[in-house]
Amino acid sequence: MDCPVCQNAQIEEGVSRCSECNSDLSAFALITEIENKRSGLLKTRTILLIILLLAVVGWAGTFATLSQPGAKEVEQSVVAKDEADAKDEQISDLKAQVAEQKEKIEQLDGELVGLLATIESGVDESGNFTVHVVQEGESLWKISEKYHGDGLKHKHIADHNEIDHPHYIQVGDTIIIKH
C-alpha cells in the first residue's frame, strides 16, 4: 500500500500509520478491504452465472435430442422429463443463489457508498462528530475556529483526541471533532 498523503511506497500490510509522515491509514485500509470483498462477490456471481448458463444449455440439449416417441422413446422421454425436472430444480436453486449473491453485492455497494460519503464529507451518519484530516499549515486553533467558531476550544479537541501536545499535530493526522 502507498501512503495517500506522502506517497511512501514502503508501507507494510496491516500498519495503521505511515512511517514517514505518521498519517492515519485505517480508513484507507477499510476501503481496500471493502473493495476486496466486493471483488470476491463479483467473481462468485460470475461463476454462478456461468454454471446457470451451462445448466440451461444442457437442459436445452436434452429436448433437442427427443424424437417421435415409440415404446422405448416414451420410456426415454419419461427419464428425460425426470432429468429435465431435476435440471429445472437445479436452475431454480442457482437462480436463488444468484439473487442472494446479487443482494449481498448491492448491500456491500451501499455500505461502500456510505463509507466513501462519510470519508468525503467527514461527518458521521448521526451528525455527532466530524472526521478531519490535518492539512499543511493547520493548527488545532485554526481547526477549532473552523468547526466551533472559537480557537479557544482547541483544548477540547486535543483532550477528546488524547493529544498531549496540542501544538504538535502533523499533516495527515486524523482528528475527531465533536459537535
What gap in Å lies between CA 99 and CA 114, rounded to an integer? 22
* Overall number of domains in the chain: 2
User: Has residue 42 been placed in a domain?
Assistant: yes
Q: Whole-prediction pTM value?
A: 0.34
What gap in Å lies between CA 130 and CA 132, rounded to an integer? 6
Question: What's residue 159's pLDDT?
Answer: 92
Q: Grid coordinates representing 114?
A: 456510505
User: Has residue 2 been placed in a domain?
Assistant: no
Answer yes or no: do 69 and 152 share one domain: no
pLDDT digits (tens, 9 = 90+) for 100-154: 999 998 888 877 766 665 555 455 566 688 888 888 999 999 999 999 999 999 9
Answer yes or no: do 55 and 77 share one domain: yes
Task: Single out the residue in 121, 137, 166 at which a domain terminates.
Answer: 121
What Cα–Cα distance (Å) separates residue 66 from each residue in 39, 44, 61?
42, 34, 9
The alpha helices in 122-165, defined as continuous H runs, are 140-148, 154-160
Answer yes or no: do 42 and 77 share one domain: yes
What gap in Å lies between CA 148 and CA 140, rounded to an integer? 11
Answer yes or no: do 109 and 35 share one domain: yes
